[in-house]
Amino acid sequence: MNAFNPTRKAVILVSGGMDSAVTIAMAREQGFEVYALSVAYGQRHSSELEASERVAKMLGAVVHKTVHVDLRSIGGSALTADIDVPEEGGEGIPVTYVPARNTIMLSIALGWAEVLGSSDIFCGVNAVDYSGYPDCRPAFIEAFQTLANVATKAGVEGAGIVVHAPLMNMGKAQIVTEGERLGVDFAATVSCYNADAQGRACGHCDACSLRAQGFREAGVPDPTHYV
């Protein structure tokens, strides 16, 4: 990776999955010092949070912080309520969509960025091979950046805030290829919506299907640990 200037700080949302891992590696290559942020929002399993810590350390984050927000208290998603995770995506926005999740996560990242004096936030959202979530689209990222720059001291009096979504227009195969180039160990990541306590993937949910498709199309052996 290229040498980086330690005064260029970036807050990077880390879920423990392959997309956020590649996002960290891309930010490091661009010269950013990584402040990794994960959110324990009441998701179905803790293995993705364990993967977040593992990935952040592996990819050279200066700090990895986990903030707790109880989205199970409002439910409304198969990831935060007693609703079965479907084995196929189906039509429309899937039941694995967590209401306002990315808005909440980016808001926490925004607050931390202000405290750190950082003008840059990275997230691994993707609108090509994805589950159809409304908060993974370019329009959402653009709208949030506008909000960030009218709602913060950094936006009003400082240099402003930039929200980077470097994977937005990349398919899963491209993400795998980019991760391979940057030396990301995908075996350390967990993408499954229904992973077990050891982080082993179910192999059937939408996240598993998209991940497996990416490795297959990229011609890279799938290192995912399956049940």
pLDDT digits (tens, 9 = 90+) for 81-96: 777 777 665 567 888 7
> Which helix or strand (DSSP H or E) is residue 155 part of?
helix 153-156
Half-sphere exposure of 91 (CA within 13 A, CB side): 0
User: What pLDDT score does 169 carry?
Assistant: 94
Rounded to an integer, the average pLDDT of 115-133 is 89
Alpha carbon of residue 213 to chain centroid = 18
- pLDDT surpassing 60 at residue 3: no
Average pLDDT over the chain reads: 90
User: What pLDDT score does 43 carry?
Assistant: 83
Question: How far is the C-alpha of 39 from the C-alpha of 27, rounded, in Å?
Answer: 19
User: What pLDDT score does 91 carry?
Assistant: 67
Rounded to an integer, the average pLDDT of 101-112 is 96
Q: What is the pTM of this model?
A: 0.90
Closest C-alpha to 209, from 127, 130, 97? 130
Tokens 């189906």 sit on residue: 90
pLDDT tens-digit readout, 37-48: 999 988 877 898
Sign of CA dihedral 199, 19, 146, 97: negative
- pLDDT surpassing 80 at residue 4: no
Say how many residues make up the chain.
Answer: 227
Check residues 205 and 54 and name the one with the higher pLDDT.
54
User: What pLDDT score does 44 carry?
Assistant: 74
Whether 201 and 224 have beta carbons less than 8 Å apart is answered as yes
Residue 195, Cβ neighbours under 10 Å: how many?
A: 27
Delimit the domains of the chain by residue range: 9-218
Assigned architecture for domain 9-218: 3-Layer(aba) Sandwich (3.40)
Torsion of CA 199, 14, 44, 127, to 10 degrees: -100
